[in-house]
Amino acid sequence: MVRTFFLTLLILLIFTVCDSKVQDSTTTTLPQLITPSKHALKSQELTTIMIEFENLIFERFYSELERDKKRIQYTQEMEEYLEDIVLETKNLQKTMPDIKNLNKADAAEFRTLASALEDSAKELKKITTQYETEKINPTLKQMIDICNQCHAKFK
């Protein structure tokens, strides 16, 4: 009986603490939190583009009859996102190393990765423009690998 009482009290205490933390975190403003990296602040546009692009990539086709229509629409939308990725990547290459005060080696590595992402996005755009759908996945994987390398180093 006493054990059940203490267990119930402990559970209530945990829920109360968790609930108050959730409420506190929703009212906390950005400057009060741990300051995010400047890359995270500067690349909000790229993050938004990448999320929309990811949603497009994982969209499912619903019937065989709409396959060609969907494929054309899919590649056209992909081209638009890729163009946005290229433009935003160019902007990051110009501003990021200076904003983050990277040393010369890290700045060079950042620019190399950003340039590789830009080149990969251009290649994927070319592939989608030519409707070479069999080449999309390997090139997309290359883009994802570049993103992961950059995020592992600079996030």
pTM of the model: 0.57
Segment 17-68, tens digit of pLDDT: 444 444 444 444 444 555 555 555 567 888 888 888 888 877 665 666 667 7
Lowest mean pLDDT among 1-10, 57-66, 103-112, 140-149: 1-10
How far apart CA 24 and CA 108 sit, in angstroms, is 41
Q: What is the mean pLDDT of residues 106-113?
A: 89
How far apart CA 19 and CA 113 sit, in angstroms, is 42
Q: Residue 111 contacts by C-beta under 8 Å, 6 or more apart in sequence?
A: 93, 97
Owner of token pair 């992961």: 148
For residue 137, give the H/E element and its range. helix 136-154
Structure tokens at 129: 């423009």
